[in-house]
Amino acid sequence: MDQDNGQGTRIFLALLAGYFALQFALRLALGGALETDEAEMVLLTHGFRLGYGPQLPLYGWVQAASFAIFGKTAFALAVVKNLMLFGTYALVFAALRPLLTFRLAVSGTLGLALLPDVFWESQRATTHSVALILLIAATLAAASSLLRRGRIVDYLLLGLVIGLGLLSKYNYALVPVALALAGLTLPQMRARLADRRLLATLAVALAIVAVPALWMLRHPELAFASGYKLTVGKAATDAMPWLTGLGDSFGGFAAEMVLAALVAAGLGFGMRDRSAPPLTEPGETFVRLLTRAALFSFALFLIGVVIAGATHVTARWLLPVFVLAAPPLMIRAVAMARPAAFRGLVGGVAALAALTVVGMAGARLYGSARGAVDFADVEAALARFNPETTPILADFYVGGNLALRNPGWRVEPFLPTQSPPAPGTPVLVLLRGTLSLENNLGRSGWPEPEAVQVLDSLDFRVPYRFTDAETLALSARLVARP
């Protein structure tokens, strides 16, 4: 199978394409409401802009293109996500295959399929994180090409990828820095980094990010509106508030990498082959590069937690670490094992993929799933407020779903995307659960939100599609500035 002559590559890529085509078809067949990140895209992505809010603009640009072609539909949302996910695996494989045997390149690529935030959350809910992992994969492909050939086009391509990556999510910045630090420890990569053509890489990257960065500096209240997430969720200690952030970081790392680590341990030790040959160059250098970059990126992340005084960290913020770590982990495990280990890995990942497809249906439809909310009931309850003509403020989930179903409604998120309305103008504010009216109006840029007049109010519940045990609590407040 190592001497695949292209046939194995074609089969592997076709299987990947078929899997994501199945996920795409399943998403459309299941229907239901949008997830929160999907709804955010509907609410914020109005054409091509330098910035769309607290998230960086790359995913918004791609989504805007999809909306322009297919309209604001679930189809337009699902096609972008699944193409990006397929591209992620394909690019990691493209990075590894020229350096390693077919068996090891597939093993490294399938390492991604053992990361919960990749095989589950990216398919179920996330958007900008999907762009992040795609650009990390593209960076690995560009770094692989640079290591192998070192042409000027490789330096320019790396700059292009880094520039786009810096517009995907803020934590992407860990990747080029960590790869550079790891590269300095390896003679072959150190020679590439010492080449003055690296200045072309930096120039291209800076040219790509310059104008969006200027937009961010001019609109800080919008661009950095999600900064509060660093300090929510847990109480901080008085002396060292970042201790809880460090705890979250190590806990998130362990939870995300445990499956890959267990599989690697089972393959590498339970099926070990002491006569297995070592990796050849430049594959050995590239595997070392990824391993050391993963360690550097985690160390840099922890330093950032301390400097920022972060009291809350989610595992998803560590995606750069996981995507750098999983491929070399699987490569080492399979390389030291008997040939049967590779078949076991492929079979295990195939079983996990099948479970993911089945689980995705349940995650969208059953219980208190966001996709199982019937927004026709929400619209019926809001009819008394004349939502067709009344401006609406809502969170991403509620607002995006209403905007998708009712293109003529004026729906805005709890962000300063619009100037506050004139005094006396009625605005309908929709809240889930116990969200604070004053806090959300303040986040929307309203002056003195505590002084607003409540003209009418309604608290109601809407059922989920396939359960009577739970309902979604919503509150509607018709308010006006005094």
Asked if residue 307 and residue 183 are part of one domain, the reply reads yes
Least confident of 5-9, 349-353, 405-409: 5-9
Asked if residue 199 and residue 155 are part of one domain, the reply reads yes
**Torsion sign, CA atoms 161, 126, 247, 434:** positive
Confidence of residue 228 (pLDDT cuts 50, 70, 90): low
Query: Per the structure, how many domains does the chain have?
Result: 2
Is 190 part of any domain?
A: yes
Confidence of residue 239 (pLDDT cuts 50, 70, 90): low
Confidence of residue 207 (pLDDT cuts 50, 70, 90): very high
Higher pLDDT, 201 or 340: 201
- What's the whole-number mean pLDDT along residues 202-222? 93
How high does pLDDT run on average in the chain? 92
Is 1 part of any domain?
A: no
Asked if residue 379 and residue 306 are part of one domain, the reply reads no
- What's the whole-number mean pLDDT along residues 403-429? 93
Asked if the model's pLDDT at residue 137 lies above 90, the reply is: yes
Last residue of a domain, one of 337, 365, 393: 365
Asked if residue 328 and residue 463 are part of one domain, the reply reads no
Is 244 part of any domain?
A: yes
State pTM to two decimals: 0.94
Confidence of residue 370 (pLDDT cuts 50, 70, 90): confident
Asked if residue 417 and residue 353 are part of one domain, the reply reads no
Asked if residue 358 and residue 375 are part of one domain, the reply reads no
Return the pLDDT at 353: 96
Least confident of 56-70, 112-126, 233-247, 378-392: 233-247
Is 41 part of any domain?
A: yes
- What's the whole-number mean pLDDT along residues 102-130? 95
Instruction: Work out the angle between the directed axes of helices 102-110 and 339-365 (0-180°, nearest 10).
Output: 30
Is 118 part of any domain?
A: yes
Is 2 part of any domain?
A: no
Return the pLDDT at 3: 53
pLDDT in tens, 423-480: 999 999 999 876 789 999 998 889 988 899 999 999 999 988 887 778 899 999 999 9
Edge-to-edge strand list for the sheet holding 427-432: 411-413, 392-394, 427-432, 467-480, 453-464
Confidence of residue 315 (pLDDT cuts 50, 70, 90): very high
Confidence of residue 1 (pLDDT cuts 50, 70, 90): very low
Last residue of a domain, one of 315, 337, 365: 365
Last residue of a domain, one of 317, 336, 365: 365
Q: Which domain holds residue 422?
A: 370-480
Asked if the model's pLDDT at residue 78 lies above 60, the reply is: yes
Asked if residue 108 and residue 24 are part of one domain, the reply reads yes
Asked if residue 357 and residue 374 are part of one domain, the reply reads no
Asked if the model's pLDDT at residue 300 lies above 70, the reply is: yes
Return the pLDDT at 4: 67
Higher pLDDT, 278 or 345: 345
Return the pLDDT at 131: 97
Asked if residue 401 and residue 341 are part of one domain, the reply reads no
Asked if residue 118 and residue 227 are part of one domain, the reply reads yes
Confidence of residue 361 (pLDDT cuts 50, 70, 90): confident
Is 199 part of any domain?
A: yes
pLDDT in tens, 172-204: 999 999 999 999 999 999 999 999 999 999 999
Asked if residue 432 and residue 344 are part of one domain, the reply reads no
Return the pLDDT at 98: 96
Return the pLDDT at 274: 67
Return the pLDDT at 230: 58
Asked if residue 257 and residue 194 are part of one domain, the reply reads yes
